[in-house]
Amino acid sequence: MHPDHREIQINTSFLKSPLLLFDTVTSTNTMIQRQLQTQTGCRVIAALEQRTGEGRMERTWESPPSKGLWFSFNINKQIHARKLILLNFAIALGIRKAILGIMVKDMDVKLKWPNDIVINSRKAGGIILKSKFRNGIHRDVICGVGINLNQNRSDFPIDLRDRAISLKIVDGLKRPIESTLIKVIEELDKYLLFSFDNGFATTLDDWQVASTPLGTEILVSVSNSQKQSGIYRGIDTEGRLLLEIDGKTIVLTSGDVEV
């Protein structure tokens, strides 16, 4: 265990207290993976800075010190293959609700398939899920979360400045990391508890309401070299993206969406 961490009590039922808050780590996902070898329960690990935070499609998530909420947690349950996308959506919904709760302005916080949180069409946060998969079951699910909190526009890399946003850019407030982190995790905990208790019964509908409006023209990067444009027609019962191209609807299981 690193010496540069503190234990912080959190009022949670699903996620395990205390939260472990580190000064600097390689990545919080890596720290959770190590914890799984010796700990039980749904542990939460956060850091003021990640040197190599993990993003989707093998990208690095920019995680400068005290500029955002960088944390990971594990799900101490076996998740059926078809439920993993519902878990992904439930986590995104919980994060969205938490962000709405700490904003001082009424902002249109949207979810973008498959796991981005956007404000004013720019990325304010994201999540990444990892797991061990065998015989149709996901085990040792780890979720990494990044939320841009206190960045100024100049804090983002030049190539991200027109695509990324922070809560401070939106409402001008610099937020304390520790107390904001506690609020977000406690709100997320409530939503996760609700989602597991009701078997994710409302997750797809709730996510659709909070996502990109139906009928929006979007561009989907299916790979580094392949992009497809069309009209967003929502998601199917398995959480896959429905994209209309020239009057025909295709189903996508992965990709990055640009609105």
Cα separations (Å) of 19 from 29, 179, 239, 241? 14, 12, 31, 34
Give the tokens for residue 25.
């780590």
Residue 162, SS3? Answer: coil
What the block records as the tokens of 158 is 């030049």
Decide if 129 contacts 29 (C-beta within 8 A).
Answer: no
> 125, 148 in Cβ contact below 8 A?
yes
Write down the domain spans for the chain: 5-208, 213-258
Model confidence, pTM: 0.92
Residue 40 confidence (pLDDT)? 66
* Contact between 10 and 185 (Cβ < 8 Å): yes
The residue whose two tokens read 């001082």 is: 104
pLDDT at 223: 76
Regarding the domain delimited by 5-208, which CATH topology (the fold level of the hierarchy) does it fall under?
BirA Bifunctional Protein; domain 2 (3.30.930)
Instruction: Classify domain 213-258 by CATH architecture.
Output: Roll (2.30)
Q: How high is the pLDDT of residue 1?
A: 45
**3-state SS, residue 32:** helix
pLDDT number for residue 34? 84
* Rounded distance between C-alpha atoms, residue 118 and residue 93, angstroms: 12
The tens place of each residue's pLDDT in the chain, 259 residues long, gives 455 789 999 999 999 899 999 999 999 998 888 887 776 667 899 999 988 656 555 556 678 899 999 999 999 889 998 899 999 999 999 999 999 999 877 788 999 999 999 999 999 999 999 998 888 899 889 999 999 999 999 999 999 999 999 999 999 999 999 999 999 999 999 999 999 999 999 999 999 999 999 999 999 988 777 899 999 999 999 999 999 999 999 999 988 898 8
pLDDT score recorded for residue 60: 64
From 19, 3, 143, select the one nearest 77 (Cα to Cα).
143
- For residue 105, count CB atoms less than 10 angstroms from its CB and return exposed for 0-12, middle for 13-18, buried for 19 or more: exposed
